[in-house]
Structures are given as C-alpha cells and as structure tokens.
A and B are shown apart, each in its own frame.
Chain A
C-alpha cells in the first residue's frame, strides 16, 4: 500500500530497489487523494457553469501517461475551454482543497500528468491559433494546442516555430512548463525559451498576462516551472520562416568520439541541427543538418573533414571487416542489419523528400519514434549535464542500459542557454552548473514486445536518475524530475525557497500536487 504523504513533503517509495548504494529510495508516485469534499466541489463548479465529467468512461482516457508505469483515475474531468472557465475551476479547487492535475499531450513519463484522484484538466480543449503576425514573426496561440497542430497552421503561412519536441502530440503549454528539446536546440535553445509572453491562470484563479517585462517573477516561475505556479492558457511565441533540411549522416563505432564531434560542431556553430542517435554501442549516428545552402557549404568547407565519422558506405565496410574477424558475433551483425533495414527508410520516405531535402522533420522523426520506440511504456529516462560532464554521464547511463535491456538507443542533443534567462532556469531541467550549453541524453530501451514489470522499468529509470544525483546533473525531456529527486539535485535551501513561494501562490497546494513538491 502506498503510504499517505502530506503535500510538500516526501515519503518513502514503495517500489523499486535502490540503484546506487547510499542513495535512499524516495517517493516516485503520489498517493491517491481520499476524495474529501469532492461532491461539494463538483456541485460548486457545475453551478458556475463548468462542465465536469465523471465516471470511468470519461476518465479512462487519462488513466496513465506516455510512461505507462503510473496509473490513476481522477474523480472527474474538465475539458479546458477558456481562461475564465479555468479561473472558476481553480477558485473552487482552492476553496474545497481538491487537487487539480493539468494534462496536455500526456507525454510525461513519471505520472506527472496522471491524476491520482481529484480533478483533471485537459488543456487540449484550448487548441486554437489566435493570431499569426508574419511581419513580427510571432504567434499567439492557446496553450493546449499540439505543436504539430500549430505547425499545420503556421505552414500555410510558410512559417515554423523555433524548436519543439520531436513528438507530434507534445502540447505547447506542457512543453513551456518543462523545457522541450529539438535537433536545433544547440542553436536555438530549449523550446521554452521561445515564449515571449503568456496568459496564466494562477493557482488562486487570477488571470494574469506575464513576460520578462510584465509580471516577470510569475513568468520566470511558470516557464520551466513544472506547472506549479499557474496554468498557461495562452502563449506568444517567436517564429521563423519555414525551411526544409539538408541532412548529413555520419557513423561512428565510438560513442565518445561521436559526442566529442557533436560538441565541436555546436561550440563552433557549424550546423543548424545536430544530434546523436545510437543503434548499438558500436554503431552511433551523428546527424547534421542545415537550413540553407550557404550554411551547408560553409560546413563542407570548414568542418566536414574534421569529423571522424564514416559515411554510410564506409561504415558498412568497416562493420563488415569488424564482424568478419569476429564471426561469433553474427547475431549482433544481424541485429544491425535489421535495424538498418527497418529504421533507415523511415528517414528517407520519398513523400517527405524534395530535391534531396527533408520536409517536416518533426513528422519524420516522430513517426519513427512511435513506430520503433513507442509502446504502452515509453520508458525514456534522461540526464542533462553541463558540457564537460556529458560524456561521463552518457557512458554511465549506457552501462545502466546494458545492464537492464538487450537493445537500447541513446539520443543526445545540445541545448544552447540564454544568458538572460538565468532566472527561468532556476530549479528547472537546466543543470545549475551549465554555462553556454547544456547537453541532454535520453536512454531509450527497445521493448521489442518484451514483457517487463513496472519495478524493472522503475528500477532502470531510478538507476539513470541516480547518475544525475551523483554528477550534479538535472533531468530533461518530459519533465522527468520526480519529487523524490529534487532535493538531492538542488539542495534543501533552494527547494525550500521555491516551496515557500509555492505555498504563497497555491495555499491549498492543489495544483499539480506531488510532481515536484
């Protein structure tokens, strides 16, 4: 039985063994709210004209998140329709002390968007694009919109967002609250950095516009704030002209060498897009891409020859020689062939290629992710570190993957930090010691139809997260910063300061309870 835990405190974790000696296991999933006062709350919101759905059929779609290891049902569901409606809901939730869990695309992996009782607010009901300013290169949109739906509207104007997770069903509001990385983040920063201003409904129901110039403290807390200080209902985002990509692929047999080359490219601004995707420990792909012919030509002239990776044909020859001398590893060679046969065509589908350029990268990448890595359990723990600690973090994480799963993939990308966004980054996914760039790595086991227990998945994730504690790192994609880790990463002083702010902003501690506090 999961023990009851008071809001703002951390309890013991009833599942998953400790990964590292000396790191005490702590609460990973929230306790279920006991439902006290629910009926009075439901009556109040309905009387105020808010449509509240109850019952298993209405709530069942929200049973779990992309991680698929945390399961819980809310008492009721509200589909977001307006800031005013959300304001009514939050005021009632404060008055009746009913927990409110906000959900966008539901792509969290630790149950952050799963409601363990209380009311769940589905933000995808607010999915309209409100205004596109092609001259100023900005868009005002409701925050429940999926990035992909936003891209569909922007493309009609030949525009694109700056950066967004390579997953079609990430929502704008959810991403701004946790970070978001793209293969252009080494140049354009994390997705949250493209927000210029927000409309936020505070935990007490006030509707507030905020930006770096207006209500700046709220803006700083809401951006990368894990949904603790308000619900983002509208966002103004920076845009750019849409461009297709010229892709280049380099193949390495050493992860360390590939990371060194990635960081070399990033620090020299040598490409518009860069990232690493591993197939096996001995088969690592560095992708490099460009928005313009000029940038591509400059890369060819100045940087291509400095990369130590092979082209596809050269790497195939190298691997053939490698396995010819090691015939007992023929299964490994067959697996490599299989992956090449299955995955490579996904990135070269003719309907997305024109004149050698890839169109709609988010569609291509997201489809490949869902096809080859998606399943009921999207088990993707991650680490974000300063540049100088990244190789160590990746190699240690890779060793954990090897211990838990037969096959796995690593996805590594740089994240350029904005010096003026220091206040945004405080107690966020951006590692505290990072300067200039942070680096993120996702560790993605290939489930391949295998059956693993929840404890196995959770133990694996905890083992990755513990590396982060040990290295002073943070956790990136999908808001994987669980409550049980936050004090160990940031220390009591910083966490207590933010907790005090949270208690002032959210007196009943009802908003996204148990995610980090």
Chain B
C-alpha cells in the first residue's frame, strides 16, 4: 500500500516546529487569565526558539496546569505538555543556585526512593485495577462506591509519588519506575490521575487504560441517571491524554443522555480549576475563575464531576447540587454485592 494511503499517526514534534498559529492560546487557561502570550504554550515554544533557558521561563512553567488542551489542538502535533514537563524537569534539577524551584512535599524524595511497600498482589494479572490517587483514597465511602460500580480492586501501589514527580519535574528513580510499571504490566488500568494516565499510555503502550470518569460513565447505572439537566464536568487531563477517542466517547454519552459538558466549541475540556503548580491539589486551593466561566450562561439543575477537586470548587462558586459521577450509580444491592466480593 502506498505510504500516503496508510493512516499512520504522525510522531510528536518538538518546540522548533511551532509556527505561531496561536491555536493553543484559545484553549489555554493561563493565557485566558492573563492575556499575555508569554503565558501560553506558543509563548514558551517561541521563547525556546529564541534561546530562552528554563530558568527564564519559570513563571509560566509554574502557572501551567498541564491540562493538555494545547496538545489536542496543535496542528503541528507538538507535544506541548511534554515540552512543559521537560522544562520543569530542567528547572527542578538545575545545578544553578538562584534558579526558582517548586516547593515540594518533604517526603516526596524519600517516597520515590523507597517505593511502595511490597504486598501480595490484589488482583491476578489481566484483571482490571484501580489507581485511585490520594484524594479518592482519602474518601473511603466514595472509593467504595467507585469499586462497587467498576467491580475492581484498588492497586496497592497507585503511583501517587510518581504522578507528583511527573507534575513537578522531579526525576523518578529508574528502579522505582521499573517496579511500578512491572507490577502494572498485564492489567487493565483505571486511573484517577489524568497526568499519570497520559504517561502510562507511553510507558505501557498496548495496555488497556482509561480515566476514572470515563470508566464510571460506561456503567449503565451511571448513564441511566444522567439527564438533560446535568452539566457533566470532564476531567481535562485524562480527556486530552486520549483526545481523539475521548471526543467520540463523550459525544456518544451526550447523544444518549442529553447531558451537557464543560466542552468549548472546539470540543476541548475547560478545566474547572486552573491551578498552577503552586496551587495544585495537595498544595493549596485553586482559583474559581474557570468554574465560573464554565457556568456562565448555563443553568443546569445539577453538576456531575469526575474529579474531587472539581466538586470542591463548584461547591464554592454555586448553590447547585454537585455530585461525583460515582454517586450517580450506587444502589444498596450493588454495595452489598461489592462488600461480598471485596470483603
């Protein structure tokens, strides 16, 4: 078959391919809040083309929420999130004394060095496993509902130290990464952290992975409780990490249930919180401008969120009922069966 007839996905390109089309600005939360091209993926790429160092770009690198919207719209297929994460790594690991570095949890390095404690496998190979992340782990009731809906075991090592290291640019010790990936190999993975999901897509190419929100919304019990009055807030990182597939997935969900989404006219997910690194969950509270923008001109009866951070911010900016998508599909019989299955 001639090469041009084959549908081969083109390889991602680097910042040098940026032609300055500005399409990434339209979907970038940090540009939206500042209207300064220096605070945009294009601004970063162009600055790099002009010889900028990571240290010179520290403010926008801190401000980026790594929502991944820019990756989905870049016509040059530049891995813009990857570019920003790479710059963060350079910044975090710079030997220069006066380079601004992100504040990190005290125990991150030790957790990365030690890894997760060795325990008996919770599920046989090929069984689906859940990587809930710290926020969902902290909410035992909701975690139980998630497990009941998905019929899935929580993986002991959910890689939250690795997810945080990816976010802030800390180098992950190879042994820690290898052990994490080895333990996941062969499993179908449901991950609550969209950034971790994005990386797992690269690290475990060929494995089956899905974001937590998308996985939950495949359940009939959830879909049957979604309706036209619902504003369903998609978690952007997981959505943009698998954009082409997820656009179709949520489009079908919309056709089936009539709910609306936090999608813009380009079908890009608008983040409800636009935290920079310093405001990320686990560090401090984010701002509320994005959540208000999602609600502007809309009058839903209920807000359904995939992310716990989004539940918190919508709870602050409106009086509407805000529920996690897992809370849509719970019934007593299912919970009873779940307890029987998982103890």
Contact = CB atoms under 8 A, between A and B. Distances in A.
Interface of A: 56-61, 63-64, 66, 68, 79, 105-106, 122, 124-127, 144, 146, 148-149, 151-153, 155-157, 168-169, 334, 337-338, 341, 350-352, 360, 363, 367, 370-371, 374-376
Contacts of B51: 56-57
Nearest to B36: A79
B321 interface: no
A61 B265 contact: no
Interface in B74-132: 75
Interface in B21-62: 21-23, 25-26, 35-38, 42-43, 46-47, 49-52, 56-57
A127 B50 contact: no
B23 A60 contact: no
Contacts of A148: 26, 265-266
Given A61-B47, A79-B35, A125-B35, A374 B247 contact: no
B328 to A, nearest CB: 23
Given A56-B50, A61-B46, A63-B46, A374 B26 contact: no
B56 A57 contact: yes
Contacts of B266: 148, 168, 360, 363, 367
A174 to B, nearest CB: 12
A363 B21 contact: no
B42 A61 contact: yes
B43 A370 contact: no
A79 B31 CA distance: 13
A338 B22 CA distance: 28
B333 interface: no
Nearest to A377: B19
Given A56-B50, A60-B50, A153-B297, 5 more contacts: A57-B47, A156-B296, A168-B26, A341-B5, A375-B19
Contacts of B296: 153, 156
B20 A64 contact: yes
Given A156-B296, A338-B5, A360 B265 contact: yes
Contacts of A58: 38
Contacts of B251: 350-351
Given A63-B46, A351-B267, A363-B265, A124 B37 contact: yes
Contact of A169 (B22, B49, B248): B22
A397 to B, nearest CB: 25
B274 to A, nearest CB: 16
Interface string B223-252: 000000000000000000000000110010
- Interface-centre pick from A66, A122, A168 (highest chain B CB count, 10 A): A168
A374 B75 contact: yes
A122 B38 CA distance: 12
A341 B265 CA distance: 25
Contact of B52 (A57, A126, A156, A370): A57
A59 B42 CA distance: 13
B19 A169 contact: no
A367 B298 CA distance: 26
Interface in B237-277: 247-248, 251, 264-267
A339 to B, nearest CB: 10
Given A360-B265, A370-B75, A338 B50 contact: no
A56 B5 CA distance: 42
Contact of B265 (A60, A64, A151, A169): A151
Nearest to A350: B251
A176 to B, nearest CB: 18
Contact of A61 (B5, B20, B23): B20
A264 to B, nearest CB: 33
15 contacts: A57-B38, A57-B57, A58-B38, A60-B46, A79-B35, A79-B36, A124-B37, A152-B264, A153-B297, A169-B25, A350-B248, A351-B251, A367-B75, A367-B266, A370-B21
Contact of A68 (B19, B26, B264, B267): B19
Nearest to A158: B297
B4 A351 contact: no
B2 interface: yes
A426 to B, nearest CB: 32
Contacts of B19: 68, 374-376
A105 B4 contact: no
Nearest to B297: A156
B43 to A, nearest CB: 5
Contacts of A68: 19
Which are the 7 A-B pairs with shortest beta-carbon distances?
Answer: A156-B297, A60-B50, A370-B75, A61-B46, A169-B22, A56-B50, A351-B251
A367 B297 CA distance: 26
Contacts of A106: 20, 22
B37 A61 contact: yes
B21 A374 contact: yes
Given A351-B248, A375-B19, A61 B75 contact: no
- Interface-centre pick from B21, B46, B56, B298 (highest chain A CB count, 10 A): B21
Contacts of B2: 334
Given A169-B21, A169-B22, A338-B4, A155 B38 contact: no
Nearest to A369: B75
Interface in B316-339: none
A416 to B, nearest CB: 26
A158 to B, nearest CB: 9
Given A125-B35, A169-B21, A60 B47 contact: yes
B50 A168 contact: no
A133 to B, nearest CB: 14
A169 B36 contact: no
Contacts of A146: 22, 25-26
Interface string B1-24: 010110000000000000111110
Contacts of B57: 57
Contacts of B38: 57-58, 61
A106 B2 CA distance: 38
B8 to A, nearest CB: 12
Nearest to B73: A367
A297 B313 CA distance: 48
A155 B35 contact: no
Nearest to A123: B35
Nearest to B56: A57
Interface in B136-159: none
- Interface-centre pick from B42, B75, B248 (highest chain A CB count, 10 A): B75
A127 B46 CA distance: 22
Contacts of A360: 265-266
Contacts of A61: 20, 37-38, 42-43, 46-47
A156 B50 CA distance: 39
A58 B38 CA distance: 7
A125 B267 CA distance: 24
A133 B296 CA distance: 15
A72 B297 CA distance: 42
Nearest to B298: A156
A401 to B, nearest CB: 21
Contact of A155 (B5, B20, B265): B265
Contacts of A375: 19
Nearest to B22: A169
A63 B50 CA distance: 10
A52 B266 CA distance: 33
